[in-house]
Copies of this chain bind each other. A is one copy, B any other.
Amino acid sequence: MTTSTTRTTRGKGRDKAAPARPTQKDIALAAGVSQAAVSLVLNKAETPSVPPATRTRILEVAEGLGYRPNHLARMLRSARTMTFACVIPDITNPFYPGLVRGLQTVAAPAGYDVLIFDTDGRPEREARAIDWLLQGRADGVVATFFHLRVPQLAVLARKGIPLVRLESQHKPDGPLAIDSVYIDNAEAAAAMTRLLIARGHRRIAMIQAEFGPSQRRAQGYSAVMREAGLAPDFVTDSAYSEESGARAMTRLLQRKGERPTAVFGASDVLALGAMEAARNAGLSIPGDIAIAGFDDIPVAKLLGLTTVRQPEFDLGALAAETLVRRLQPGGFGSPGKSHELKFEIMKRSSV
């Protein structure tokens, strides 16, 4: 395991200064309650079996005695931060919180906290994330970068910070500790396009974003359209946002000539914006226009949006497992791998 000199030095300095730590037993004695109650209150969010006054008392005593969970002691011993960073382009896109939750679910029992860094999909903020990581703020990283590529990211692996990228396609094995998790975005978009064609649509437009996975999704859509003898029809707006989706749909509806009968948003938030713009224009979905998305964000089900399910929770969990393995002794020895998970087409009422 490679660690930067700074981190090792800091860890050692702190270890010497660490005071004697109270145990849960000490807290139980001081609060005059059972050790089982202390364990419950300190480890569970919900403790219906412990009266609220007892819970408060236990927390106050724990605080008074300076109780800290094992986590901190473990961190001090190992000279690690016991932190994973999750670098995402847009925290307001409901796809990413699911990814973070998957990551946390594996990271927490392994003793790692998860910190989230939102880049807003901007190159300057992605560079800041790298700066911040190079200061030794996290032991490993799960990231979606829209702009930085392996040449710019290699510095992390060289500093002993493993990276798992959320990708839109298979990546060849590499010499560095840069792994990836993905669903086949092109094949998933192709499958959705085939569904739209099977439902009788011929004029199918795709709403794209400027960066990120949109490109691979567009390739899958284009390939199927051409195979079917149909003309791909793209509207590109800047971001993966409802505003971009609504703007793109408005442009589609204002065009002269025949209107598309189906619109495929390169992400669910784009599709949601398109739905809103279509309804505002007095169109019914799917009667006047069918709308499909990509991601299967939590609200897609409630809105009846036909979409591609990305298993975001599982992608996050797999990424965390990969980091945990990389951080075990000898974990840096193996080449960077690309791990595929399966997508699913969710057929709902919008198509």
Contact = CB atoms under 8 A, between A and B. Distances in A.
A97 B63 CA distance: 30
Interface stretch (A297-305, A327-335, A339-347): A297-305
B115 A116 contact: yes
A63 B101 contact: no
Contacts of A59: 123, 147-148, 152
Contact of A302 (B113, B128, B272): B272
Interface stretch (A40-48, A177-185, A216-224, A249-257): A40-48
B113 A116 contact: no
A210 B46 contact: yes
A58 to B, nearest CB: 10
A69 B124 contact: yes
B117 A115 contact: yes
Interface residues of A, number: 58
Interface string A33-64: 00000000111111000000000000110010
Contacts of A120: 45, 104
**How many copies altogether?**
2
A304 to B, nearest CB: 10
Nearest to A273: B302
Interface in A269-286: 272, 275-276
A97 B97 CA distance: 9
Given A42-B123, A69-B131, 14 more contacts: A41-B123, A44-B124, A59-B123, A63-B151, A68-B131, A91-B97, A92-B94, A92-B100, A92-B101, A97-B97, A275-B302, A276-B301, A276-B302, A302-B303
Interface of A: 6, 10, 41-46, 59-60, 63, 68-69, 71-72, 83, 91-92, 94, 97-98, 100-101, 104, 113-118, 120-124, 127-128, 131-132, 137, 146-148, 151-152, 210-211, 238-239, 242, 272, 275-276, 298-299, 301-303
